[in-house]
Homo-oligomer: A and B are copies of this chain.
C-alpha cells in the first residue's frame, strides 16, 4: 500500500543504512500520502489506523530520526505541538492570528531578507523553521468594517 513516493524513501533510507520497520514504513506512508502538516498526535492516529501497535514514543523517535536525515521537517505554526511534513517542496507558512488560516508561500519571498542577513550580519538563514504570524486579507477586511 506504500505510494511510489514512499517506496522511493524506503530505498533512500536503506541506501543510507537505515532499517525499514513497520513503524517507519507506516510513518512514511502517512507523510507521503498527505499534503497536510501533522502533529505527532495526528501522525500517531493515522499510523495506528494501519499499524495499531506502533507506540507514540516510536513515532517521536521516528520523526526525530527522519529529521536528522533531512527527510522530514517540522514547523511551528503557533503555540502547541510542532507539525511535520516531508522535506521536499519547501515553503514558508503564514498563519492568520485571527482565523488560523494557513497560507503557504514560496521560500523565494524571503530571498531579500536572506541576502541582507548574510551581507550585513554574516548570518546564513536556514529554511524557515517558524511561521510568520499576522492577519489575512479577509480578517483584515472584516476588522475594518467593524
Chain A interfacial positions (CB closer than 8 Å to B): 76, 94, 96-97, 103, 105, 109-110, 112-113, 116-117, 120-126, 128-137, 140
A133 cross-chain contacts in B, Cβ below 8 A = 125-126, 128-130
- Tell me if B130 and A131 are in contact (CB < 8 A): yes
- Other A-B contacts than A110-B113, A130-B131, 17 sampled, CB-CB below 8 A, are A76-B130, A94-B121, A94-B123, A96-B123, A103-B121, A105-B117, A109-B117, A112-B113, A113-B132, A122-B137, A122-B140, A123-B132, A123-B134, A124-B140, A125-B134, A128-B133, A130-B130
A–B complex contacts, Cβ < 8 Å, 9 sampled: A94-B123, A103-B123, A109-B116, A112-B112, A112-B113, A117-B132, A117-B134, A121-B137, A126-B135
A128 cross-chain contacts in B, Cβ below 8 A = 132-133
5 closest A-B pairs (Cβ-Cβ)? A122-B137, A130-B130, A112-B112, A125-B134, A126-B134
Is chain A's binding surface mostly helix, strand, loop or mixed?
Answer: mixed
- Tell me if A94 and B122 are in contact (CB < 8 A): no
A131 cross-chain contacts in B, Cβ below 8 A = 130
The docked-state distance in angstroms from the alpha carbon of A133 to that of B124 is: 9
The docked-state distance in angstroms from the alpha carbon of A117 to that of B140 is: 14
- Tell me if B122 and A132 are in contact (CB < 8 A): no
Min Cβ gap A138→B in Å is 8
- Tell me if A122 and B136 are in contact (CB < 8 A): yes
